Structure 1
Amino acid sequence: MLFSVLDIIGTIAFAISGTLTAIEKRFDIFGIAIIAAVTAIGGGTLRDMLIGNTPVMWLQHLEYLYIVIATIIVTIFFRKSLNKLRTSLLLFDTMGIGIFTLIGIQKGLLIGLHPIVCILLGTVTACFGGVIRDTLCNEVPIIFKKEIYATPCIIGGGIFFLVQYMGFTQNIIYLVTIISIITIRLFAVRLHWSLPVVKL
């Protein structure tokens, strides 16, 4: 039950993030819909293709599309209120990567993948919707910049397996993983943490 709720929350968070990004870029309604959709379901689509889970999730479960469409409409309607919150885009994006990392890890575990592969799968699920979003918006994807973005997903994946090894309940494992990723990401932005850049 908690897993399903988190999946819906993550989809909504990324759809909001994509919609706000498209509005900032002054895209038309169709452009907004495309950016919101690829942000919300792009990472999960790539994940499903990598593990051979086809048709991909949103083709089998149309509720994902309904959630994205409803989120776009609500976000557009309340765009001025959301825009007043200067950190809204960051917060929704950070919530998305936390939740979707967990979902990707779980998908890997369900088919018996190695923990390291599960962590990578979680990172792909969390980050590559944003990669597609940024690419379509003619921006260098944030994951390729020195700003810490994928790193919290990887660390959070490690925390997932550590807490699991310690014998905590499933719901505790889920919440600790998500909170860890969100906390690391927000601290990284707040304190300007970054990975080293190789210079010529």
Structure 2
Amino acid sequence: MAHLSYVFIIELLGTMAFAVSGAFSAMEKKLDVFGVVVIAFVTAIGGGTIRDVLIGNLPVTWMRDIIAPSVILATAVVAILYRNIFHNLPKTLFLFDSLGLGLFTITGIQKGLDAGIHPAICVALGTITGCFGGVIRDLLLREIPVLFHKEFYASACIVGGVVYFLLLYVVSAPVAQTVAIVVVCALRLLAARFNWRLPAV
């Protein structure tokens, strides 16, 4: 039960982080209040929706539980009301996006494990959960998705997923999940700091 509670907390924090990321992205584009809320929703639920459809978890999670939509709406409203305290929107967006990436990667992996899916596919599900809300957000905002042209993004999710499964042999699941989240976030931040990129074609 404690394990399930910890996973729930991870998912809740990830939802909040991506809702903030989506809201700030929309505010950068000068969208109206409705547009900001819509982009916050899409960013927060996009990856999880695709994951749930792929594993047959229907209706998808956010449609069966009012908690997630309520949290997204509340987070978007707070982001709008307190946007002026963040003097550097791009940096704030990047930090929340990195945090959401790490949190949702682990959420996706755990959903795959609960469905009895092979660990390698679970890593792919974690990557989808972490990345594709941002992909949909960027497409709606007429940007090239960060997944396809920026520093480590999907790669960070994959490394974090592999670290998680390796750690499961020596530590408890909550500890492995926490370390994996830190690995994903740290890789994203370090990649930005030192300009690590995959080779362009």
TM-score scaled to structure 2, two decimals?
0.95
**Does residue 179 in structure 1 map to residue 176 in structure 2?**
no
Counterpart AA for 1:74: V
Residue 123 of structure 1: which of 115, 127, 130 is its match? 127
**Does residue 191 in structure 1 map to residue 181 in structure 2?**
no
Secondary structure of 2:86's counterpart equals helix
Counterpart AA for 1:108: G
CA contact (8 A) 1:148 1:193 kept: yes
Deviations 1:50-103 (A, max 9, x none): 000000011000111100110011101100112346521111000000000000
The 5 A counterparts of 1:149-188 are: 149-166=153-170, 168-188=171-191
Distance in 2, matches of 1:72 and 1:146, equals: 25
Partner of 1:62: 66
Distance in 1, matches of 2:189 and 2:57, equals: 32
Distance in 1, matches of 2:26 and 2:67, equals: 22
CA contact (8 A) 1:146 1:196 kept: no
Distance in 1, matches of 2:38 and 2:90, equals: 23
Secondary structure of 1:83's counterpart equals coil
CA contact (8 A) 1:146 1:197 kept: no
Partner of 1:101: 105
How large is the RMSD of aligned CA atoms in angstroms? 1.0
Counterpart AA for 1:4: F
Distance in 2, matches of 1:152 and 1:116, equals: 15
Distance in 2, matches of 1:95 and 1:65, equals: 19
Q: Residues 146 and 27 of structure 1: is their aligned pair in 2 closer, same or farther, counting only changes over 3 Å?
A: closer
**Does residue 46 in structure 1 map to residue 46 in structure 2?**
no
Cα drift, residue 38 of structure 1: 0.5
TM-score scaled to structure 1, two decimals?
0.96
Secondary structure of 1:196's counterpart equals coil
Instruction: Say how many residue pairs are matched.
Output: 197
CA contact (8 A) 2:40 2:72 kept: yes
Deviations 1:161-192 (A, max 9, x none): 000122x1121111111011111110001000
Deviations 1:31-65 (A, max 9, x none): 11111000011100000000000000110001111
